[in-house]
């Protein structure tokens, strides 16, 4: 059945048509982008401050105006009309165009920053220097390519955040969550680190630190140059270093136990923040097939193992051998890593084995053996830790995972693969939180008795590709490692079947052979 | 190996098949002329509105059927020979069964209006209906206006679909407020206002007289009983559905409005069962109508018949009545019985509450003498089925239910709660009586 009309025109017919104010808003936003492109091509603007202000406010204003024009004259409620008809949101021509532009931008940003105006000696030019006025205002120095990226990223989250707030103005959970990601992006990821940079002087320097960016998402947090800076940064530096360790080992497990991984993935995280705002129009593009879930489990956990190995090797490489100089020696570090991983493995194996499916058990044993034998191998053969140089591991990880996976594929392909490809298949932080969420958390999505009509809105609009309906129609609660708790399944459900909750651990995963509604004897009989 | 044949791949037939597979190794064949795979009928609207693609409303991936050894056959059953236990297909060929489950569902009921066979007159029940709507109302240039006859759950879905493509919609509703034959009046009136707020030209106390066509046999206009002519290209018939049983007319299976079944869902012929929309109970169960065309009851009958077929004879004993729907942006849930003005029992008292937003309301119904809680309708507030199911089984008093209403709330976190408002209204009102 061809319900989808293959019409390439931008205007089209309702529900895919956009109204006149939306067209003007698009024009405004695009003209802002155009100024940036001109700057990238080294067009000299007479008054940089003014032109930068014009460019950025046109982009911001264009997006906000578009959102107001799109939603203001409509009743409060779900706004998915024509999602699968519009070229931009149904992998049409515009989607591919946008995808190519975004991936192109990431490739230039990561691998050819000279095209943005980065020069090795002397002052930057082009787009990067175009951002100097704002950079000087915030951190006192000239802009870098990362400052340009950070600014645009923040504008995207704020402007598309406002769009999302308009779209879901009837839903307080969605609104609070969006205010939260906007706040953390603007404050923690953008302004605070820039202001912190002002404190730096010749004698005192802290690394650029986005406090909410926790290892292993922030895979470089414990690299030598950073740790050196932390340690030389006096009490503040040391506090930051300790905070980095405490974040992943103590804060994260506690919050995830209480609220599920959503406290991070859809309320705080920057990657999640972009996915939930700018990426929202693409959430339905995620792959819902069972095979995608299988691939996801192997890939995301392999990335986690990779980052653990890489970080261990990097830290090991700069530690000393002499315990009289510093308590943490190479050996002490390696042994504590090995013991910690063994404890986690044994704990899960003893207490939670029943909850693991066959492939999860195989994976757990496999990964554990690999890590422990690599550590053991090092002791017995005296070869390089993990067979490769720490620097090689670090570079490979940075290139493959840090740049290609999270940036080029993860964000560049939003309009093709959906908004959470990185979070689902690649993010090691999501893997850790997901592991905690699946096995040690109060969070679940509760299913309301037998009210499900299998319509499929929940599954379709799940950005993580979870087949929510498969659980809901069986009356089962949804307890999945990958669920980021965005709450959209619950919002789009036409029958009020789903609710995100933190509840008691008993009956967290609850399945009835017979759904509620049928006669009581039959339910008791079958479910016995 | 016993061969179970199921006619119909809707929720009733598929639930039966899945449960039979769970409990047994029998050979199972599912026959449908409508679609290759099971789809969610209640989600047809979302395909037209562009919320989902066709494959998104199919709850199982194609490999599911083979993996569970559920054979699918696309064919139309024309005749059933109950003596030789054989089905004959319109496309030629036949199939023998050991046990037969008929789950052929519903079809739109037409009431013999003049012009009802014109092109562009359609219901919203089958896949074909969706394809027809796409054909006759693809956009507001080809179809500037549509008229919908009847204001029920399907009618409001169709209105929402057409409005999503900015097609003007006129709805002719027989009652004085939307779905007032089922909903208590204050609720029906609130829904009327909401439907109108979505740009629908909603006509109360209006009925269809006849449909006019043009020279090509397409719909041109309708004429109401008041004599008004309304030009339109599509006429949506949403005045109700009836069991789809025309193929049984010359069989020995006893039919009335639907296929007559006993409580075990057995027909008059041994080894033949009927479930879902097409089945008609010989005696009504509780307050339920003898033919129930509801997703949930179809599913529940499928669960029950699977037990019987797998050797554990079970009666279909539905628990407390429940249902849900959505009127544009307003969700509706009901648990227990809350009757409309015309069907209200003499022992039934109703308490109404409405939010100032005009987007939420609730009606709680209770026994006027004993104060026993009988049922609740909520609009714009989600409720927990399990809690109400327990309260109804425990025969709780209306005071208890209202005092503990918070326990039943199922709205998302941080949503504004209205229990206090409801409680103070209820207890003030009863104090004044």
Q: Which residue of B has its CA nearest to A468?
A: B59
Please give the residue of chain A at the shortest CA–CA distance from B141.
A13
Q: Is B3 helix (H, G, I), strand (E, B) or coil?
A: strand
Question: Of A508, A510, A501, A445, which is closest to residue A476 (Cα–Cα)?
Answer: A510
Tell me: pLDDT of A527 over 50: yes
Cβ–Cβ of A3/B56 closer than 8 Å? no
B81 reaches A (C-beta below 8 A): no
pLDDT at site B413 = 96
Side-chain half-sphere CA neighbours of A513 within 13 A: 21
Domain assignment present for residue B13? The answer is yes
Look-up of token digits 């009921």: B109
Statement: residue A11 has pLDDT above 70: no
Alpha helices by DSSP H, A72-144 = 93-111, 126-130, 132-139
Interface check for B36 against chain A (CB to CB < 8 A): the answer is no
Do the chains contact at A290 and B384, CB–CB below 8 Å?
Answer: no
Question: Is the dihedral angle over the CA atoms B415, B416, B420, B426 positive or is it negative?
Answer: negative
Closest partner residue to A494 (CB to CB) among B11, B198, B331 is B331
Average model confidence (pLDDT) across chain A: 89
A171 touches B: beta carbon within 8 Å? yes
Report the side by side order of strands in the sheet with B330-336.
Answer: B322-327, B330-336, B373-379, B361-367, B348-354
A380: closest CA of chain B, how far (Å): 49
CB distance B410–A499 less than 8 Å? yes
pLDDT confidence band for A5 (50 / 70 / 90): very low
B15 falls within a domain = yes
**Cβ A496 vs Cβ A448: under 8 Å:** yes
The distance of A84 to chain B (nearest Cα, Å) reads 5
pLDDT for the residue numbered A523: 63
B68 lies within 8 A of chain A by CB? no
**Per-residue pLDDT reduced to its tens digit, B290-341:** 999 999 999 999 999 999 999 998 899 999 999 999 999 999 999 999 999 9
What secondary structure does DSSP assign to B112-163, as a single string?
Answer: --BTTTSBTEE-SSSHHHHHHHHHH-SSTTT-SEEEEE--SHHHHHHHHHHH
For B103-144, how does the pLDDT look when each residue is reduced to its tens digit (9 = 90+)?
A: 999 999 999 999 999 999 999 999 999 999 999 999 999 999
Asked if pLDDT for residue A289 goes beyond 90, the answer is: yes
- Same domain (yes/no): B89, B199: no
Number of domains into which chain B is organized: 3
Choose among B52, B197, B410: nearest Cβ to A75: B197
Categorize the per-residue pLDDT at B432 as very low, low, confident or very high, splitting at 50, 70 and 90: low
pLDDT per residue as tens digits for the range A78-99:
999 999 999 999 999 999 999 9
Q: A243 at the B interface (CB within 8 A)? A: no
Q: Is B390 on the interface with A (CB under 8 A)?
A: no
Is the CB of B75 inside 8 Å of chain A's CB atoms?
A: no
Residues B272-281: tens digit of each pLDDT: 999 999 999 9
Does residue B86 sit within a domain?
A: yes
Asked if A500 and A445 count as a contact pair (C-beta separation under 8 A), the reply is: yes
Question: Does residue A216 have a cis bond before it (omega within 30 degrees)?
Answer: yes
Residue extents of the structural domains in chain A: 1-74+112-199, 290-428, 439-527
Query: Which chain B residues contact residue A469 at CB under 8 A?
Result: 59
- Given A15, A290, A519, which is nearest B164 (Cβ)? A15
Which of B49, B53, B414 lies at the smallest CB-CB distance from A176? Answer: B414
Q: What is the mean pLDDT of chain B?
A: 96
* Partner residue opposite A82 with nearest CB, options B50, B58, B389: B50
Put simply, the answer to whether A495 touches B325 (Cβ < 8 Å) is: yes
User: In the predicted model, is pLDDT for residue A249 greater than 60?
Assistant: yes
Q: Searching chain A, which residue's CA lies closest to the CA of residue B129?
A: A1
Whether B217 is covered by a domain: the verdict is yes
- Please tell me the predicted confidence (pLDDT) of residue A2: 44
Residues B232 and B253 in one domain: no
Q: B13 or A371, which is more confident?
A: B13
pLDDT on residue B433: 57
Let me know if residue B164 belongs to a domain: yes
Q: Is B164 on the interface with A (CB under 8 A)?
A: yes
Q: Is B115 part of a structural domain of the chain?
A: no
Chain B residues whose CB is inside 8 A of the A526 CB are: 307
Using one digit for the tens of pLDDT, what is the confidence trace for A29-78? Answer: 999 999 999 999 988 888 999 999 999 999 999 999 999 999 999 999 99
| B333 vs A: CB within 8 A | yes
B147-201 residue pLDDT tens: 999 989 999 999 999 999 999 999 999 999 999 999 999 999 999 999 999 999 9
Residues B353 and B305 occupy one common structural domain? no
Q: Who has greater pLDDT, B361 or A370?
A: B361
Residues 183-212 of B with CB under 8 A from A: 197-198
User: What pLDDT is stored for residue A54 in this prediction?
Assistant: 96
Q: Which residue has the tokens 């560049």?
A: A412
- Please indicate, yes or no, whether residues B248 and B396 belong to a single structural domain of this protein: no
Q: Which residues contact A311 (CB under 8 A, 6 or more apart)?
A: A215, A216, A219, A222
The Cα-based distances of A47 to A130, A275, B134 in angstroms read 10, 34, 55
Which of A457, A496, A526 is facing B51, going by the closest CB pair? Answer: A457
Q: Which residues in chain A are closer than 8 Å to B138, comparing Cβ atoms? A: 5
**A residues 108-167 closer than 8 Å to B (CB):** none
CATH number of the domain to which B100 belongs:
3.50.50.60
CB of A387 within 8 Å of a chain B CB? The answer is: no
Identify all chain B residues contacting A513, using CB atoms and an 8 Å cutoff: 22
Q: Which residues of B touch A13 (CB under 8 A)?
A: 139-141, 165
Tell which B residues from 220 to 279 touch A, by Cβ distance under 8 Å. none
What is the ipTM metric for this complex?
A: 0.95
Is the per-residue pLDDT at B72 higher than 90?
A: yes
Q: Kindly report the pTM of this predicted structure.
A: 0.94
Q: Is residue B135 within 8 Å of residue A3, measured between CB atoms? A: no
Say if residue B349 is in the same domain as residue B336: yes
Second CATH level (architecture) for the domain A439-527: 2-Layer Sandwich (3.30)
Q: Are B304 and A522 a contacting pair at CB < 8 A?
A: yes
Q: How far apart are CA A245 and CA B263, in angstroms?
A: 65
Task: Say yes or no for a CB contact (<8 Å) between A517 and B300.
Answer: yes
Contact predicate A25/A31, CB 8 Å? no
* CA–CA separation, A269 and A488 (whole Å): 17
Interchain CB contact of A447 with B (< 8 Å) = no
Residues on chain A touching B328 (C-beta within 8 angstroms):
75, 77
**Which residue bears the tokens 């404890």?**
A343
Measuring CA to CA, which residue among A138, A131, A99, A133 is closest to residue A113? A131
Same domain assignment for residues B39 and B98: yes
Residues of A in contact with B413 (CB under 8 A): 173, 499-501
Domain annotation covers residue B317:
no
Name the residue among B359, B350, B355, B346 with its Cα closest to residue B377: B350
Last residue of a domain, one of B190, B218, B239: B239
CA distance B270 to B338: 38
Per the domain annotation, does B113 fall within a domain?
no
Residues 6+ apart with CB under 8 A from A210: A188, A189, A192, A193, A218, A270
Q: Are strands A498-502 and A443-447 parallel, antiparallel or unpaired?
A: antiparallel
Q: Which residues pair with B134 in a beta bridge?
A: none
Closest Cβ opposite residue A460 in set B56, B197, B410 = B56
Contact status of B54 with chain A (Cβ, < 8 Å): yes
Angular region, A456: left φ>0, alpha ψ -120 to 50, beta rest:
left
Range of the domain at B249: 3-107+242-309
Do B373 and B297 lie in one domain? The reply is no
Q: Name the residue among B274, B315, B297 with its Cα closest to residue A525.
A: B315
Residues contacting residue A153 through CB under 8 Å, at least 6 positions apart: A185, A189, A270, A274
* Other residues' Cβ atoms within 10 Å of the Cβ of residue B68: 13
Q: Residue B50 and residue A2: Cα distance in Å, rounded?
A: 12
Q: Measuring CA to CA, how many Å separate B313 from each of A131, B253, B263, B265, B310?
A: 77, 21, 10, 10, 8
């Amino acid at each position: 059945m061809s319900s989808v009309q293959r019409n390439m025109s931008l205007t089209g017919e309702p529900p895919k048509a956009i109204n006149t104010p939306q067209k003007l808003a698009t024009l405004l936003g695009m003209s802002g982008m155009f100024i940036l492109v001109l700057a990238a091509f080294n067009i000299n603007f007479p008054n940089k401050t003014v032109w930068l202000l014009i460019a950025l406010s046109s982009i911001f204003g264009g997006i906000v105006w578009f959102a107001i024009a799109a939603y203001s004259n409509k009743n409060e409620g779900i706004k998915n009309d024509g999602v699968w008809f519009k070229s931009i949101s149904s992998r049409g021509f515009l989607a591919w165009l946008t995808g190519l532009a975004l991936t192109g931008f990431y490739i230039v940003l990561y691998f050819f920053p000279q095209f943005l105006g980065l020069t090795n000696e002397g002052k930057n030019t082009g787009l990067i220097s175009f951002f100097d006025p704002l950079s000087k205002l915030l951190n006192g120095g000239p802009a870098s390519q990362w400052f340009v990226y950070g600014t645009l990223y923040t504008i995207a989250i704020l402007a598309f955040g406002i769009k999302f707030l308009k779209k879901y103005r009837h839903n307080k959970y969605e609104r609070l969550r969006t205010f939260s990601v906007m706040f953390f992006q603007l404050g923690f990821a953008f302004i605070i680190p820039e202001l912190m940079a002002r404190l730096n002087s010749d004698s005192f320097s802290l690394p650029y630190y986005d406090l909410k960016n926790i290892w292993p998402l922030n895979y470089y947090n414990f690299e030598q140059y950073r740790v050196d800076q932390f340690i030389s940064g006096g009490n503040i530096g040391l506090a930051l270093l300790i905070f980095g360790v405490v974040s992943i080992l103590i804060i994260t497990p506690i919050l995830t136990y209480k609220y599920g991984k959503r406290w991070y993935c859809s309320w705080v995280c920057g990657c999640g923040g972009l996915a939930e705002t700018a990426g929202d129009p693409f959430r339905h593009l995620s792959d819902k097939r069972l095979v995608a879930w299988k691939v996801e489990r192997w890939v995301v956990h392999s990335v986690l193992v990779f980052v653990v190995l890489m970080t261990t090797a990097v830290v090991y490489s700069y530690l000393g051998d002499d315990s009289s100089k510093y308590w943490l020696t190479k050996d002490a570090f390696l042994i504590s890593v090995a013991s910690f991983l063994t404890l986690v493995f044994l704990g899960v194996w003893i207490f939670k084995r029943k909850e693991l499916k066959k492939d999860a058990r195989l994976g757990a044993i496999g990964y554990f053996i690999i890590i422990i034998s690599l550590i053991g191998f090092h002791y017995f053969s005296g070869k390089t830790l993990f067979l490769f140089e720490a620097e090689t591991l670090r570079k490979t990880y940075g290139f493959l995972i840090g740049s290609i996976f999270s940036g080029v594929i993860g964000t560049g392909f939003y309009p093709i693969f959906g908004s959470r490809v990185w979070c689902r298949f690649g993010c090691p932080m999501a893997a850790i939180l997901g592991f905690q969420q699946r096995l040690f958390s109060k969070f679940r999505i509760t299913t309301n008795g037998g009210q499900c009509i299998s319509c499929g809105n929940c599954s379709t609009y799940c950005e993580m590709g979870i087949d929510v309906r498969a659980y809901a129609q069986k009356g089962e609660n949804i307890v999945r490692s990958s669920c980021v708790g965005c709450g959209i399944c619950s919002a789009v459900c036409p029958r009020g079947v789903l609710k995100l909750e933190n509840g008691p651990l008993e009956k967290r995963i609850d399945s009835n052979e017979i759904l509620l509604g049928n006669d009581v004897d039959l339910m008791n009989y079958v479910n016995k | 190996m016993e061969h179970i044949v199921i006619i119909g791949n809707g929720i009733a037939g598929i639930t039966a098949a899945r449960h039979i597979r769970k409990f047994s190794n029998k050979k199972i064949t599912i026959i449908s002329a409508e679609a290759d795979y099971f789809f969610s009928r209640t989600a047809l609207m979302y395909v037209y509105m562009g919320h989902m693609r066709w494959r998104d409303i199919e709850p199982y991936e194609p490999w599911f059927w083979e993996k569970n050894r559920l054979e699918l056959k696309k064919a139309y059953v024309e005749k059933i020979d109950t003596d030789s236990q054989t089905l004959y297909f319109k496309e030629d060929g036949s199939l023998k069964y050991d046990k037969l489950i008929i789950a052929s569902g519903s079809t739109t009921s037409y009431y013999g209006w003049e012009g009802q066979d014109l092109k562009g007159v359609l219901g919203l029940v089958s896949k074909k209906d969706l394809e027809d709507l796409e054909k006759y109302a693809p956009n507001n240039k080809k179809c500037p206006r549509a008229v919908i006859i009847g204001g029920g759950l399907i009618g409001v879905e169709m209105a929402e679909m057409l409005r999503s493509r900015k097609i003007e919609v006129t709805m002719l509703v027989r009652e004085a407020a939307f779905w007032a034959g089922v909903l208590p009046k204050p609720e029906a009136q609130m829904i009327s206002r909401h439907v109108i707020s979505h740009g629908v030209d909603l006509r109360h106390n209006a009925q269809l007289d006849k449909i006019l066509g043009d020279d090509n046999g397409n719909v041109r206009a309708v004429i109401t009983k008041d004599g008004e002519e309304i030009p339109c290209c599509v006429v949506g018939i949403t005045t109700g559905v009836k069991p789809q049983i025309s193929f049984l007319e010359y069989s020995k299976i006893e039919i009335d409005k639907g296929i007559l079944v006993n409580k075990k869902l057995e027909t008059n012929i041994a080894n033949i069962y009927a479930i879902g929309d097409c089945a008609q109970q010989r005696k009504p169960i509780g307050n339920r109508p003898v033919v129930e065309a509801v997703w949930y009851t179809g599913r529940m009958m499928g669960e029950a018949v699977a037990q019987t077929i797998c050797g554990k004879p079970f009666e279909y004993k539905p628990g407390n009545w429940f249902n849900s729907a959505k009127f544009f942006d307003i969700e509706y849930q009901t648990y227990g019985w809350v009757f409309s003005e015309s069907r209200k029992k003499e022992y039934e008292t109703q308490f109404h509450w409405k939010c100032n937003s005009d987007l939420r309301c609730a009606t709680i119904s209770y026994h006027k003498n004993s104060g026993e809680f009988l049922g609740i309708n909520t609009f714009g507030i989600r409720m927990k089925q399990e809690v109400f199911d327990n309260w109804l089984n425990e025969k709780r008093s209306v005071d208890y239910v209202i005092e503990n209403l918070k326990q039943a709330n199922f709205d998302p976190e941080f949503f504004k709660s209205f229990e206090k408002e409801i409680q103070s209204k209820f207890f003030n009102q009863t104090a004044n009586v």
